[in-house]
Amino acid sequence: MTNGTSESVARAPQPRLLLLVEDEADARTILARRMQAFGWTCLAHPSGEAALHDPQLRHVEAVVADVVLGEGKMTGIEMIGALRKQDVRAPVVLVTAFADQPRLKEALNSGAAYLLEKPFTTDSLRGVLEKVTGVDVDLAKLVTRALSKARLTRKEEEVARLVLKGLTSAEIGAMMGNSEKTIKQHLTQVYAKLGVAGRAEFFHLVFPS
């Protein structure tokens, strides 16, 4: 108290807790240092198995994990299920050098909040973390957001969503009772309406790095 008035003490914001799982030591160290500069405190581990035993695991606000974490080790995708079993609900950003169809399909089904393709900058990772921790974002919502930009028919949207789950035109045709040729015709319309040339550009439109 000073002269009958109370003094308010400004407190520095508490660092946010980030679980970082990367099997390459140099990359792990560099990422941890850069994210610390952005206001995150990193719990850095070389494997999912080690990360799951961190005593501060339940307090993390976000998780960044490589999809591939060494031969014979738990993958980043498998780690999501293990985290949920321990009641850790923090959004998980998966990092991969190959954002191919099987991995996209697995990520969609595993509950990842974002799929970030290598190479990426720490600024882009920072932006992704702000996005997934600031609002409720998941891959399903990214898909809906991207598809809503085009006036797709119900059939076209159904085909587009199945493509994003990693199914081939033949597999989609078998599921929907159509020929592969018919599915490809629908995809041609989807790509034209979204302004992309094919599957690769379609994936990058929906899952920007």
Cβ pair 100, 185 in contact under 8 A:
no
Task: Give which of 98, 94, 97 is closest to 107, Cα–Cα.
Answer: 94
Q: Look at residue 100 in the predicted model and tell me its pLDDT.
A: 61
Q: 141-206: same fold as 16-137?
A: no
Q: Which CATH architecture has domain 16-137?
A: 3-Layer(aba) Sandwich (3.40)
pLDDT, tens digit (0-9, with 9 covering 90-100), for 126-165: 988 888 787 445 566 767 777 887 888 989 988 888 887 7
The domain segmentation of the chain, as residue ranges, is: 16-137, 141-206
Coil vs helix vs strand at 135: coil
Burial of 47 per CB tally in 10 Å (0-12, 13-18, 19+)? middle
Residue 64: pLDDT band with limits 50, 70, 90: very high
57, two tokens: 């695991």
Q: How many CB atoms lie within 10 A of CB 164?
A: 23
CATH of domain 141-206: 1.10.10.10
